[in-house]
Every structure is written in C-alpha cells, then in structure tokens.
Amino acid sequence: MAPKETKNGSDNPGEKFDMTEAPSEAFDRQEVIVLLGESHGGQKQKFLPIIRSGNGKFFGLGESNTPSLDQMEGRFAQILPPKAATAENRALAQVMLKVKGVTVPQSFRSRFDR
C-alpha cells in the first residue's frame, strides 16, 4: 500500500508531504493504536485514536472513525500460513520444541491440540 502524498497526518489530498518535519513532531499528528486480527477466513482491522489530556498524559481511546479495509499489508499482517496445519505438522512442531527445551503449558496444549 503506497503512502498518501499529504502533509504529515493531514487528510487534505494534494497537500504536499513535508519531508523536513518529523511526523512525531508535527503539531497535527494523530496517534492511533492499530488492532489487527487474522484467521484463515480473513482479516479485521480497527484504528483507535489515542486521547491525551491537556498535560499530554494518556486519557483513553476514542471511537474508530476509519472505514474497514479489504486488506492490510505490513510486517505484522498476513502472518498465518495460507492453510491450517495438519496433525503431522503439529506433531513435528511439538517434537522440535521439545528438542529445543521449550515446554508448552498444558492449558495451551489443550486449547490447540485438535
């Protein structure tokens, strides 16, 4: 996804992006938390604006006013493999973890062993 060519955080299309001003120092910056959820059936995203009090401390999260996207790309998107792991794949992963000395809590195993 190509970035919009706008001034740091501005929603005015056509306004030139100011390369001399760091986004973190822009007076009109918008801070958000991005929630990403993925399953083999699709993706969901939600952008929650961070609300700060007058002294700059965290106050809360606002309502998402961003329309949902069809697809999200990036470092933390599309992490799941295209299809669910087979029983053979899961057994191999468990053996590899055991060889590496990683112990998996029973509560975790009971939720994901199917």
User: Going residue by residue through the chain (114 aa), what tens digit of pLDDT does each one get?
Assistant: 333 333 444 455 567 777 888 877 888 888 889 888 877 777 788 889 999 999 989 999 998 877 766 666 777 777 777 777 888 988 898 899 889 988 877 766 554 555
Question: From CA 59, how far away is CA 85, in angstroms rounded?
Answer: 42
Quote the pTM value: 0.49
The two three-digit tokens of residue 109, written as one number: 């195993």
Ordered by start, the domain boundaries in the chain are 84-114
Q: Please give the helix or strand (H or E) that residue 107 lies within, else none.
A: helix 106-112
95, 98, 103 from 88: Cα distances, Å = 11, 15, 19
